[in-house]
Structure 1
Amino acid sequence: MPIRILPPQLANQIAAGEVVERPASVVKELVENSLDAGADHIDIDIEKGGSKLIRVRDNGSGIVEQELVLALSRHATSKIADLDDLEAINSLGFRGEALASISSVSRLTLTSRTAEQTAAWQASAAGRDMQVDIRPAAHPTGTSIEVLDLFFNTPARRKFLRTDKTEFGHIDELVKRLALSRYDVSWQLTHNGQSVRRLKAAVTAEQRQKRVATLCGRAFAEHAAFIENQYGDVKIWGWIVAPGACSAQLQCQYSYVNGRMMRDKLLNHAIRQAYADTLQPEQQPAFVLYLELDPRQVDVNVHPAKHEVRFHQARLIHDFVVSALTDALSQLTPHPELSAALPAEHSVQEPVAPSYQQQNSRDHRGQSNYRQPSAGRTSAGAVNRELSYWQQSQAAAEQVSAQSIKASPPQEDIASVQPLIAANRYVLRQQDDTILVIDLVPTLVAYFKAHRQQPMPILLPQRITVSAAQLARLTEQAEQFSLAGFDMLLNDQTLIIRAVPGWLRHTVISQWLPEWLDKLSLTPELDVVTPLLAMLLNANRVMASAVLNSVPQVLEASQYWVSTPLQLDATLCVLSEQSS
C-alpha cells in the first residue's frame, strides 16, 4: 500500500479515539473551553447518560462570527500561537483538536455571541462530511454547544458505552472534580431534565469549605484539615484527612496542578509516601490538594487526555510534596502510647515512634550502637523485663522512682531526680555486673559543647516570625547556635533556618521550632540545646537512636552513676550524669 496523507475526516476520527473516550470526555473538553473563555456560570444538560445529548452553556467571551468555521477545524486554537506559548501554558486547552474530534463522531451545533456583536451565530457540523453550516441565531453573550447522538457513525465505539446510569456517574464525578478546581464558577448539572447539582460560586473560605463538604461528603469535611505550604514559587494547599479517619473505602482523592485536574504518577507517589507510615494496609488516603508553580516549570503536553504532566524539577516537587504533607500529617496524628513489650534480641529498644518518624526509626535501628551483653553478665531477658516494667505504667514508674530515691545512697548531684516521663530519653546499658541508667539530655549537651556540630542543609528552609525577646536571644547567642550546628539567617522579624545538626535532619522542624523559641525566650539562663533535647526526647519527636547514631561515641565519653543489679531487681533508679 503506498504512503498517502490521510483525509481530514479520517484523521479527526483517529484523534477522536484519543480525546473522546466516553461522554464524560466530551463534557471535559467542552467545559474546559468554557473556563478558558472566562465563564463564571456553566450549565451542563445531559440526556441518556450523554449518548443522546450533551449541552454545555456558558457566559464566557464567546466566538466571533468569522471564527466559527475555524473553531470546528482541526489544529485551530486561540490558546497558543508559537513555541514559546507551548512552554508556558496557562489555559486548560491548547491543541485545537477537541471540537473537530467531537464533531467527527456526533452531530454538533455551536451557538455563540460576543459582547460586541448585536446577534448570535450558529455553526453546525455532523459526522464524516464535517461541512460547517453558519446561520444567525438568538443567544445571550457566551457560547452553547450541543452534542447529539454521540458515536452515531461509529457503531463499534458505541457498543463500548455502558448503561446510562454508569455513563452519567462518570459525568457527575467529572463535574465534581471540575467544581473543586474552580470555586469562583457557579455550576448546574441536569440529567434527563432533573437537576442533579446546583453549586453557587464560592468566594470566601467558608464558602469553599462548604463546597468541599457538599462534593466530598460530610465525613470528609468533618475530618479534613486545611493545609498550606510554600517553598519559593512552589505552593501546595488544600485539605487532607487525618490518618485515623481514613477508611478502607475510596474517598475523595483529587489533585490539581495549576488548576488542572491530575492523576499524575509523581504526585500520587508523593502523597502516598507521606501517608505511608500512618495508614493501615486496608486504609485509603483522602485529600483535595492544589499544587501551584511557574507554568514554565511544568510540561502539560505529555498525555493525550492531559491527565499527567512532567515537572522540570521532578525531584524537588516530589520532595516538597512529601515534606509538606508529612509535616501536616504529623500534627494531625496523635502520638501512640509507648510499647509495653520489647523484642528479646535487643538489650534496649526505643518506644514506638510517632507515626511520621517510624521510617526514620527503622532506618537507624539497624545501625544501633547498643551492644549485646556477653556471657557471664546479667541476661538480656532480665534487662528487658525491667525496661518492660518501666514502660508499662506511668503511675507505677513514678511510684518506683520515689522508692528508688529513698533506697539509694544520698548524693548531692542527684538530689532533684525527676520521675520517669519518657523511656526514649533514658538509656539502660549493661557494663559488667552493673546497669547504667543514662539521662541523654545532660550527656548529649556536654558532648555538643565539646564538639562542634556540622550543619546539614534542609530541603525547605523554615521561616518563622519571631518576637522581640526571641530576636534578642537569637542575636545574643548566635555563636551558640552556630556551634550547635544551626545555620540561621535573621531578616527583620523573620528567622530563616537553612541547616540543622544531623540528628535533627529527619524531624518535622516546623512542629518544634516555635515551641523551642518560646522556651528559649522564657529561660535565658539555659544553653540553646538543653530545652530542645528535653522537649523532643520526652515527646518522642526524635528517637534516641537517631541522635546516638549521629554521635556514636557520646556514650563512651562520659561517667555515670551506677546501680547494682541487686538494686535494679527491687527498684528502678533514674540517675543523672555525675557533675564534673
Structure 2
Amino acid sequence: MAIQLLPPQLANQIAAGEVVERPASVVKELVENSLDAGATRVDIDIDKGGSKLIRIRDNGAGIAKDELALALSRHATSKVHTLDDLEAILSFGFRGEALASISSVSRLTLTSKTAEQTEAWQAYAEGAQMDVRVTPAAHPQGSTIEVVDLFFNTPARRRFLKSDKTEFTHIDEWLKRIAIARSDIHFALTHNGKLVRQYRPANTEIQSQQRLAQICGRAFADQALNIACEHDGLSLSGYLQSPHDRVITDTSFFYVNGRLVRDRLVNHAVKQAFAEHGIEHQPGYVLMLALDPHQVDVNVHPAKHEVRFHQSRYVHDFILQAIQSALLQMPTLALSEPAIHDAADNAVMFESQTSSTTDDIFTETKADLFTPATAERAINSASPFGTMHVPGKNRASFGGSSAAVKPSYGKKPVTSASTGVSKTAIANYGQLLQTSVSRDDKHVNEVSLQSSMPPLLSGAHWVICQDDTLSLLPFKDVLLAVRKAEILIKLTNGLVSQPLLMPVAIAVDSDWSETLPARDQLLRQMGIDLSIRYQQLIIKKVPPYLRESQLAIVIPEFLQWIALEQPNDSAIADWLAKQSLVQFESAQSVWQQFCLLDDTIKQTVYAQATDLPWQTWMKDN
C-alpha cells in the first residue's frame, strides 16, 4: 500500500482520540486555556454530562479577531515558539492541538474580545469541516467557548460514554483538583441549569481553609498539617493528612509548577515518611512542588498527566525530608482535656525538681519526644538538604481538638496562656508517666540499652551487648512482637477495612456457607469482608496487615481454622502479625516501637536471643 499524507480532517480526529477522551477532557483543556489567558473567573456550564453542551466563560485576555480562525488550526499556539521554550514550560497548554481536536468531533463556537478591540468576534467550526466562519458578536472582555454535540460525527466514540451522571462526576472531580491549586480563581459549575459548585477566591488563610474543607472534607482540613519548605530552587507547599487521622481518604493530589500530575515517586516518599510513625495506609496529601522548569519535562504524556524529573532521586529525597520535618515538628502525644489539666498541675514540679540524672535517663529513652533541637539534629544528620524549616500553621489533634501549632527551630515552644506551662513540658510529663524511671543500676543499664538502636547484622539480627553478654536478637521476633501488640490494641475497636483494588474470587468450600454467618462478628472485628456468589468466595476488604498476603491461600486456611474454634484476641493478633511480616518497615521504627512495649513482652523477646560465646572465641584466638 502506498504511503501518503493524512488529510487534515483525519489527522485532527486521530489527535482527538488522545486529547478528547471524554467530556471531562474537554473541560480540562478549555479551562486550562482560560487560566493561561490570565482569567480570574471561570464559569462552566454543562448539559447532559457534557455530551450535549460544554460552555466555558472567562474574563481573560481574549483572542484578537485576526487570530480566531488560526486558534482553531492544528499546532497553533501562543505558548511556545522555539525549542528553548519547549524545554522550560510553565503554561498548561503548549502543543496547539486541543481546540483543533475538539472542533473536529463537535460543533464549536469561540467568541472572544480583547481589551484593545471595540467589539467581539465569533468563530464557528463544525466537525471535520476545516473552514472557520468569523462573524461579529456581543461579548465582554474574555472568551466563551461552546462545545455542542460532542462526538456527533464519531458514533463509535459516543457509544463509549457513560451515563450523564458518571460523566459529570468526572468533570466535578477534575474541577476539585484544579480548584485546590488555583485558589485565587473563582470557579462556578452548573449542570442542566443548576448551580452545583462555586469556589470563591481564597485570599486569606481562613478562606484557604474553607476551600480546602469544601473540596477535601472538613475532617481532612481541620487536622491537616500545613507544609512549606524551600531548598536550592525546590519549593514544596501544601497539606498532609494528620497521623492522628486514621480515616482512609482518596485525597492524593500532586502538582508540579501548578500542573496536576500522577507520580509514583511522590506516593512512595509520602508513605515512607509516614511509615516511620506507624501509619500503614496511604495518607492523604495535597502537595505542590515548584522548581526550575528546565529541571522537569512535561511533554511525556498525551494527556499531560505525567512528568519526568531530570533528578528524580533528588526530588524524591527533598519531598521525603520535607514531610519528615513537618511530622517531627508536630505534637506526637494526644492527651485528653482532663489529662492536660492534671499534667499542667504537675509539669512545673517536673521541670523544677527532676534531677540531672533523671533528665539524662529520660532523654536517652525512646519514649522521649522530639524537641525542635533534636529534630534539627536528626534532619541535618540524615539529609543532604540541611535544616528544612516548615513555617506556618501545623494542625494536629491535641486534647481531642484541633490545635494550631507554629513550630520553629529557633524559637521556644508555644506556652499555654491558662497554665503558663509549655506544651512541650506537658507532653514530656505525659511521656514520663509512661516511663518507669528507677535509680537502681540494673534499670539504668536497661534504659541505656534501649536509648539507641543497636547494630543490625545483615538486616536479620540485632547485636545486643548487656553487661558481659553478647547476643543476637532476631529482627523477625522483634517485629512480630511489635505488630502483635499493635494489633491487640486496635482489635478492641475493630480493625480498619481496606477495599481491594480488584476483589479476589476463589472456589467456595461447602462448609464456608455455615462458617461465614457463624463467625460474622469476628470477621467484622478483623475488617474482613467476604461473600459467597455463584459458588465463589469473594474477598472484598481486608485489614492492612493482610494487604501483601496471598489472599487466595491465606483466607481459606483462616476459614478452616475458625470453623473449628473461636480464637481469642491474642491468637488473632498473633496470626495477623505473622501474615504482615512480609510488609516492609524500617528497622529504626521497629526498634522505637519495641522499646515502648511492656517490660514483660520485651523480656519474652529478649529470651529468644542467641548468646554468643565470645569469651571462648577470645581465648581460642
Alpha-carbon distance in structure 1 between the residues aligned to 2:234 and 2:139: 42
Distance 1:5 1:545, change over 3 A: same
Structure 2 residue runs of 5 or longer lacking an equivalent are 336-354, 367-379, 391-405, 415-431, 438-446, 469-602, 604-621
Alpha-carbon distance in structure 1 between the residues aligned to 2:165 and 2:408: 51
Range that drifts further, 456-465 or 297-306: 456-465
Matched, 1:304 2:302: yes
Alpha-carbon distance in structure 2 between the residues aligned to 1:270 and 1:236: 13
Distance 1:132 1:515, change over 3 A: closer
Q: Deviations over 1:186-219 (max 9, x none)?
A: 1111000000111221112221111111111111
Conserved? CA contact 1:47–1:53, under 8 Å:
yes
Correspondence for 2:324 among 326, 331, 338: 326
Distance 1:336 1:184, change over 3 A: closer
Residue identity opposite 1:236 in structure 2: L
Matched, 1:316 2:314: yes
Alpha-carbon distance in structure 2 between the residues aligned to 1:423 and 1:139: 70
Counterpart of 2:271 in structure 1 is 272
Counterpart of 1:451 in structure 2 is none
Alpha-carbon distance in structure 2 between the residues aligned to 1:418 and 1:240: 36
Q: Deviations over 1:294-328 (max 9, x none)?
A: 11111111111111111111111000111111222
Taking the TM superposition and a 5 Å limit, the aligned residue runs for 1:36-55 are: 36-55=36-55
1:138 CA displacement: 0.6
Conserved? CA contact 1:242–1:333, under 8 Å:
no
Taking the TM superposition and a 5 Å limit, the aligned residue runs for 1:23-422 are: 23-248=23-248, 250-278=249-277, 281=280, 283-332=281-330, 334=332, 418=358
Q: What TM-score, normalized to structure 1?
A: 0.62
Conserved? CA contact 2:252–2:286, under 8 Å:
yes
Residue identity opposite 1:326 in structure 2: Q
Alpha-carbon distance in structure 1 between the residues aligned to 2:215 and 2:270: 21
Conserved? CA contact 1:52–1:150, under 8 Å:
yes
Alpha-carbon distance in structure 1 between the residues aligned to 2:325 and 2:275: 13
Conserved? CA contact 1:239–1:288, under 8 Å:
yes
Matched, 1:458 2:383: yes
1:236 CA displacement: 0.6
Alpha-carbon distance in structure 1 between the residues aligned to 2:274 and 2:168: 32
Residue identity opposite 1:312 in structure 2: H
Q: Deviations over 1:156-175 (max 9, x none)?
A: 11111111111101101111
Distance 1:240 1:457, change over 3 A: closer
Root mean square deviation, CA, Å: 3.8
Q: Deviations over 1:421-463 (max 9, x none)?
A: 659649xxxxxxxxxxxxxxxxxxxxxxxxxxxx967311116
Report the 3-state secondary structure (helix = DSSP H, G, I; strand = E; otherwise coil) of the residue aligned with 2:384.
strand
Alignment identity in percent? Answer: 55
Conserved? CA contact 1:124–1:133, under 8 Å:
yes
Report the 3-state secondary structure (helix = DSSP H, G, I; strand = E; otherwise coil) of the residue aligned with 2:78.
coil
Alpha-carbon distance in structure 2 between the residues aligned to 1:512 and 1:138: 55
Conserved? CA contact 1:243–1:333, under 8 Å:
no
Alpha-carbon distance in structure 2 between the residues aligned to 1:324 and 1:9: 49
Distance 1:296 1:464, change over 3 A: closer
Distance 1:513 1:547, change over 3 A: farther
Conserved? CA contact 1:327–1:511, under 8 Å:
no
1:270 CA displacement: 1.9
Report the 3-state secondary structure (helix = DSSP H, G, I; strand = E; otherwise coil) of the residue aligned with 1:245.
coil
Alpha-carbon distance in structure 2 between the residues aligned to 1:424 and 1:73: 69
Counterpart of 2:507 in structure 1 is none
Conserved? CA contact 2:42–2:57, under 8 Å:
yes
Distance 1:462 1:145, change over 3 A: same
Q: Considering only CA atoms, is the larger Rg found in Structure 1 or Structure 2?
A: 1
Structure 1 residue runs of 5 or longer lacking an equivalent are 338-414, 427-454, 466-509, 519-534, 559-571, 573-580
Alpha-carbon distance in structure 2 between the residues aligned to 1:134 and 1:115: 19
Q: Deviations over 1:472-522 (max 9, x none)?
A: xxxxxxxxxxxxxxxxxxxxxxxxxxxxxxxxxxxxxx999658999xxxx
Alpha-carbon distance in structure 1 between the residues aligned to 2:16 and 2:38: 25
Distance 1:254 1:333, change over 3 A: farther
Residue identity opposite 2:206 in structure 1: E
